[in-house]
Chain A
Amino acid sequence: MKAVLDGVQRWRHELSNCLHSCIGVALTRHGIDALVVLGSRWQFYYRPGDLRREEYFWPCPPGVSLAQTLMPYHPISSRWHQPADAAQGWQQVRERILAGEPALVAVDNFWLPFRPAYQDVHSNHLVAVYGFDDEADLVWINDGVPPAFDGPMAGKHLDASRDSDNPIVHDRDLFFTANPIGNKWLSIDRDPDAPAPPDLATMLRTNVRDFLDPEPVDGYVGLGGIEAFLRDSADRLAIGEAIAEETFVVAGTAVASAALHASALRALASQHNNPLLAEVALAVDRVAHHWTAIRILVNTIEQSEVDRLRYRTDQLMADCGRALAEVSRVADALAQEGQQTCRPRFTASS
């Protein structure tokens, strides 16, 4: 049997990762504006001890799904699948494609010929699988992360990468190794029971509220959570603990959240000819760029240089506070303009 889905297009945002690229593939197939959906929410959350060595790591509060965390304003659902073994995993992926949807499959880059890590180092990555040909032993892959790949590949490579133990070989892959892949995969669907998205002003106000006055939850959350996470990281570095891996990976989620939000605001500014949205996008991007610096800083400083991280934290907190104030001000202005002009279209027909 052969089945290859049509309408699969590469999607990527330069400050996001393979998780967003794969979700973007799943959304754009249905005419959904992935930037609007992925960029409407701006938030921070991380629960100590929840760090997973996955390039597609995204921290979710207990009992809250990935889609609810990442795309809470839009009628999208998500589910991670944990098959018992490789055979069951492939059966599920195959059924998903036959049902007309791509499967977002966890892979070890060591086994994928198009990845730079091929036959070099192991790393836990995510790709969209959207076709198969049983007779030719081919699978169709879309990987938006450079060097990027879209097309057929021998099925044996996907089999090996799905079922890999992802061991440590060499020392180059710093963060996403030593975590067995386990044949897991992710499904993203439109949720017919979910309410329609709110207007933009409501989304922005909800983001600000959840930064400044978040619901109590186990873990670092909101603006106070950012400060506590970074100050705790600095304190741990000061006593000689290793913080590079955890801080890098968590900062990766923070930079993606801020940068996607900034890009979505910029796109909406252009669509609605709204200079205020463009100006607030600049302020949010500034926060993303602090996180970029932090990711490299924690991997290059010594214990004795911990004050550099503390100084950066001071700057980030000040600029994040400013950005939130600007977002709040723009939300008020949008609300005064009326709902019709500030309800972002997230599909061609919405």
Chain B
Amino acid sequence: MTAEIVTSEAFQPTSLTTYFNNTSRTDAHALDAGAFNIWRNTFPATELPEPGGTVVVGGVPFAFPGWRADGADNVRCCGQLLDIDPPGHYDWIYLLVAAERRTEDPVLLHFAAGVVDQEWLRVSDFWPDASAHFGELRAYQCSVLHYPRHTQERMPPTIWRQRVPVARAAELRALRLPDNPAIHVFAMTLLSADRRIQR
């Protein structure tokens, strides 16, 4: 019998801290300290894990929430090129993401020798009522939404777990995000291609 066992060592949580350019979480005493969307709504920090640790969503570990001294905690996509550290052979790129209304765009996977593949990054809306239009896993749903001057009940925002395939059996070196500022990336974890165990 052949079975596939995914061990925790097969997952490579990746720091996005240097790419952070947006603040998505606020505390109740400083509601206007962030602006996840253009209306300056934010996720309630107290309903998300403490920054600096590792969380497991659907069996995948993520370095989430991220945090930086200036308060930034996520990447609003504007065409950034993310270094893959360490470069390697991977099967899937797992992401914690949310969008200001659902949207989709290609991402570019950079391999050795200038080879680039295109795959889709599809992200559902963070707003209440939004369905997992693209089949994502609902990673976090808070009970309230922060507005700049008040906390709104019955407005539960969502962070989704999405994934992007790496079809090419080659060393992945970098990932180009789309220039789509409606998409926010909170965390990224790579699943190694080298994880099959015979037993």
Task: Please report A residues at the B interface, Cβ cutoff 8 Å.
Answer: 12, 14-15, 116, 120, 146-148, 170, 172-174, 255, 286, 289, 292-293, 295-297, 299-300, 308, 311-312
Contacts known (A116-B147, A147-B152, A147-B155); A174 close to B104, Cβ less than 8 A: no
Q: A297 vs B153: C-alpha distance in the bound complex, in angstroms?
A: 28
Contacts known (A120-B147, A146-B129, A172-B40); A292 close to B181, Cβ less than 8 A: no
Contacts known (A146-B155, A289-B102, A296-B38); A172 close to B179, Cβ less than 8 A: no
Please tell me if the beta carbons of A295 and B182 are within 8 angstroms of each other in the complex.
Answer: yes
B123-164 contacts to A, CB under 8 A, are 125, 127-131, 133, 145, 147-150, 152-155
- State which of A14, A295, A308, A312 has its C-beta within 8 Å of the C-beta of B129: A14
User: Closest residue of chain A to B147, judged by CB?
Assistant: A116
When distances are taken between beta carbons in the complex, the residues of chain B under 8 Å from A299 are: 38
User: Closest residue of chain A to B100, judged by CB?
Assistant: A296
When distances are taken between beta carbons in the complex, the residues of chain A under 8 Å from B149 are: 120, 170, 172
When distances are taken between beta carbons in the complex, the residues of chain A under 8 Å from B154 are: 146-148
Number of B residues with CB within 8 Å of any CB on chain A? 33
Q: Please give the distance in Å from A208's CB to the nearest CB on chain B.
A: 23
User: Closest residue of chain B to A244, judged by CB?
Assistant: B38
When distances are taken between beta carbons in the complex, the residues of chain A under 8 Å from B27 are: none
Q: Does B105 contact A (CB under 8 A)?
A: yes
User: Closest residue of chain B to A115, judged by CB?
Assistant: B152
Instruction: Give 13 pairs: A residue, B residue, CB < 8 Å, sorted on A.
Output: A12-B129, A14-B129, A14-B131, A116-B155, A146-B155, A147-B152, A148-B129, A172-B147, A286-B104, A292-B99, A292-B102, A296-B181, A297-B180
When distances are taken between beta carbons in the complex, the residues of chain B under 8 Å from A116 are: 145, 147, 150, 152, 155
When distances are taken between beta carbons in the complex, the residues of chain A under 8 Å from B152 are: 116, 147
Please tell me if the beta carbons of B103 and A174 are within 8 angstroms of each other in the complex.
Answer: no
Q: A170 vs B179: C-alpha distance in the bound complex, in angstroms?
A: 30
User: Closest residue of chain A to B104, judged by CB?
Assistant: A289
Please tell me if the beta carbons of B103 and A293 are within 8 angstroms of each other in the complex.
Answer: yes
When distances are taken between beta carbons in the complex, the residues of chain B under 8 Å from A147 are: 128, 152-155
When distances are taken between beta carbons in the complex, the residues of chain B under 8 Å from A286 are: 104
Q: A172 vs B99: C-alpha distance in the bound complex, in angstroms?
A: 19
A-B CB proximity, top 3 nearest: A147-B154, A146-B128, A292-B103
When distances are taken between beta carbons in the complex, the residues of chain A under 8 Å from B104 are: 286, 289
